Amino acid sequence: MWKETFTAESFYDFDYTLLRWAFDPLTKLNREERWVDVPVRLGDERHVVRVTGSGTTANPTFDVSSESEEAKASLLQHIQNLFQWDKDLEVVQEHFMHTNLKELFQAHPGTPIVKDFHLYDCLMKVIIHQQLNMKFAHTLSTRFVHNFGSEVDGVWFYPTPEEVANLSYDQLRELQFSQRKAEYVIDTSRQIAAGELDLEHLSTLTDEEVMKRLVKIRGIGPWTAENWLMFGLGRENLFPKADIGIQNALKVYFGMDKKPSYEQMEEWSGAWPPYMSYASLTLWRSIEG
């Protein structure tokens, strides 16, 4: 067992990351003790890394530990990429002090981008979750992982693209997937398994190039691509206008009687770049439990 301690570049609300992950029943965490067990897949190896918040939002420190001694360097690199402790969130905060979201950011300082644990897992999750309410979306993704993934020390790992590529549509239909959604999940996994869709390569491209590539795939629209960019890659300038949660949060924040139009959202967000993802997250946060 090894343990390393890290300090974030600036303030960082780790308790919010735990809240976001707690929405997903697949995540093993404890919000009171402030830890999360992160599933890390390195090639064919599966490792579990515990990340514990040992500081405060204003002075954030983190203890990272695992029993996988031989893979320590790779695991630390994965965790640092996932949590993005090197991002100066005070720069983001200062940016929004000069926008129409000033009061929102004052109420929720230090909100980081909360990434999913792996690029493939995130893509499957957003495909499964699209056009569903949150409760049923998590029910479906949990059934998917419990039936076809694997478990290490109580921590669940998504199945690999190769494993999903070998499934039949009927196997997902039995879990209450619609026929189309079963096709989207399996057909996309087959493209990945065959090397036709390289997520690691996609992660090196610009937001526009990623969007252009992903929306060509049957079953992936702009909302899905934007969410993968934000929660898979941690990109900073995404504003999914079609997201119902964001529309509702804007309705509440600006005291409207009905949800805003795309034109209103476009106008309001004019000063938010290059940090629109932080605006999106903080808007979601303002109406979450």
Tokens coding 172: 């997902």
Closest CA to 39 of 68, 1, 10: 68
Neighbours of 125 (CB within 10 A): 27
C-alpha 65/C-alpha 37 separation (Å) is: 10
- Which helix (H) or strand (E) segment holds residue 74: the answer is helix 72-83
Query: CB–CB of 2/10 below 8 Å?
Result: no
Tokens coding 32: 């009171």
Marked catalytic residue, from 15, 63, 187, 243? 243
Tokens coding 165: 């590529």
Active site residue 24: no
Which amino acid is residue 210, in one-letter code? V
Give the active site residues: 243
